[in-house]
Structure 1
């Protein structure tokens, strides 16, 4: 049987749109901690708060975004969200106090939550069902590439130029994402938009996809660990005297992720999620431990590579599980449910870890996060992995008996 095409115009358009948006997102995520500490004379707690406020806004808007996607339509919500994201980016030029920056980060977070929910749902609609793991893996690869280019560009700009140039670049990238969104095409016959009669009343069931919650909880726990990297890696590198290595951390992260991505997506579709998720979580834990012990550029970057192999495979795999477990008509809600838990983990982690770092050290923070990752491993086994393994055993037994 011939495979349905994956690299269609619609898939490329939504992937590149998200790519430009995420570059700007990661530029700000990795450089604003330094902006708060050096330019605004803030402390570690305020650094964590700047990230947390952004993600709290994203978390609050995601359930409504998922509902709007299935009721109003994917493309309309994507356009509105990208306009809000672009306008918010422009206002960073005037965010020169902590309170002003906090307000702006909240508004910007609303746009981010809407964009990522809409784009993720559109990608899930476009990718053929039998290639979900592979397709969403490649879609996430664009996000991971942005994770490389964003921090590298951001940290390089503030090292040699100024934050004003950085804000200009972020504004241009947001505008490009807005322009490219006009080329996004949904597949013909797509029935993602619900009729008025089909729309459920406002309730928990209309805001969250129940079938996506178990794996989303696991994603949220893992996100707590990853928040320590997103929010504090640049500050940690500066503390170690490795600030130049910080811009290369995500380069080696992405290189490792890119090497594994062509295989992990296909293996997911062929052999099932457990064969990918368990090893990936263990690799993530090993990488985090090495990061907590790093004292040299080599050790610092080696940790980035191993984290790339582990965590780089986890998010697309877990998102695919959430979507495949849900009904096609509720993919928008499944996507928003997944990222609601994910962003909650990032937000809580950024704030709490910022407080922990004030009283201990960033090395201690990363060591603690190794334990959090193993907590996610246990959670995955109890909430999804055990059930999946039993189902695969039953299916294998059925095939054997048929023979």
Structure 2
């Protein structure tokens, strides 16, 4: 809800030089909290981890209007990231627990479908609220929305079989508890794919204005809607034909999308490339999650998903910082920014071409 309005809000506080940090700080804390959320999801339970994330969302939303200076705002962006560091880890592990193996891709498709419905409706509703009321109302509305997820979570049944009580020693991480090596391959490819996502989040609001588009959230709405339609299909296709096959198509489409954005000179072309971008996101999102769960052991499922999210955050964060630095508030650099993110996506495509089909991980499950 708040993302499209944040660059302008930060500028109004006098922090226009820190635009790259709006996304970067959020993803940094999300990434740092992942190993903890993965471990806690495997030890204490999926639901407490989700509850904590929703709670952070609520509290931080209430604090934005109170800490309305540059340092305070950037501190809250960092704190806010803990919500993203906890809730999705718990939620993905919860879904993986309750779904049969042969429907895993489809289930991850449904989960990511609802995730992106939120991502789509959020900026649109947020932009609408901000156009009518002062920005404080927007922050309070965002906080209020988080209460609903807390209410739903209170009714759910925990899926973790052997729970441990929460104790301080659980917050001590051994080296092997930070990254789950079994899922490094899909995670690296995800990093290369979502680099462009960080670029889009950071640069598209300014690029939209540059092309004369009033609503900065329009591109986001288009790509999210486009990603909705394809998620279920991609998840199902990956159940049938393997994860790698779907990922190849996804990364190729991502390369196309970024090149199309780079050469966009009209609203129509920009929005058309938004459709391509959304299709790519909609394909790799559920497919990677299913691929990661395929390759992980049941008892380390939280850790495996946390590893995937660490690479996801880092890809988005690095993309945001690098693109902010390349762009440097100079419209002449738009093309350079989008073409360089396209080349990063192309790297992922090259790796996928050399990977053998991923069927063998399936058969081992059924024995």
TM-score scaled by structure 1? Answer: 0.83
CA distance in 2, matches of 1:255, 1:202: 39
What are the residue-to-residue correspondences of 1:343-354 with 2, within 5 Å?
343-354=313-324
| Deviation at residue 192 of structure 1 after TM alignment | 6.0
Alpha-carbon distance change, 200 to 357 in structure 1, aligned in 2, over 3 angstroms: closer
Superimposed CA distance per residue, residues 301-355 of structure 1 (whole angstroms, 9 cap, x where no aligned partner): 1011111111221021111111110111111001100001110111122112111
Q: Indicate how the Cα distance of structure 1 residues 217 and 193 shifts in structure 2: closer, same or farther if over 3 A, else same.
A: farther
Aligned to 2:303: 333
Q: What corresponds to 2:213 in structure 1?
A: 242
Q: Does 1:279 align with 2:246?
A: no
d(CA) in 2 for partners of 1:104 and 1:256? 31
- Verify: 1:29 aligned to 2:3, yes or no: yes
Correspondence for 2:194: 223
Cα distance in 1 between the residues matched to 2:163 and 2:229: 37
* Coordinate RMSD, CA, aligned: 2.3
Q: Distance in 1 between the 2:28 and 2:322 partners?
A: 13
Structure 2 gap segments, 5+ residues each: none
Contact 1:57 1:113 in 2 (8 A): yes
- Cα distance, 1:379–1:97 mapped onto 2, change above 3 Å: farther
- 1:41 partnered with 2:14: yes
Q: What secondary structure is seen at the aligned counterpart in 2 of 1:85?
A: helix
CA distance in 2, matches of 1:201, 1:112: 21
TM-score, normalised to structure 2's length? 0.90
Counterpart Cα distance in 2 of 1:261 and 1:111: 24
8 A Cα contact 1:86 1:178, kept in partner: no
* Deviation readout 1:68-104 (Å, 9 max, x if unpaired): 1111111122222322221111101123211111111
Contact 1:221 1:372 in 2 (8 A): yes
Which residue of 117, 129, 134 corresponds with 2:106? 134
Q: Distance in 2 between matches of 1:272 and 1:194?
A: 36
CA deviation map 1:113-155 (0-9, x unaligned):
1122112211221222221000011100111111211111222
Q: Are the aligned partners of 1:33 and 1:232 in contact in 2 as well (CA < 8 Å)?
A: no
- Structure 1 residues 296 and 161: CA distance shift in structure 2, 3 A: farther
Give secondary structure in 1 for the equivalent of 2:129. helix
Report whether the alignment pairs 1:302 with 2:281.
no
- 2:35 corresponding residue in structure 1: 63
User: Which whole-Å CA distance do the structure 2 matches of 1:234 and 1:126 have between them?
Assistant: 39
SS in 2 for 1:170: helix
| Cα distance in 2 between the residues matched to 1:107 and 1:257 | 28
Q: Following the alignment from structure 1 to structure 2, what is the Cα–Cα distance between the partners of residues 174 and 277?
A: 32
Equivalent pairs, count: 357
- In structure 2, distance between residues paired with 1:363 and 1:122: 41
The CA distance in 2 between the partners of 1:237 and 1:321, in whole Å, is 35
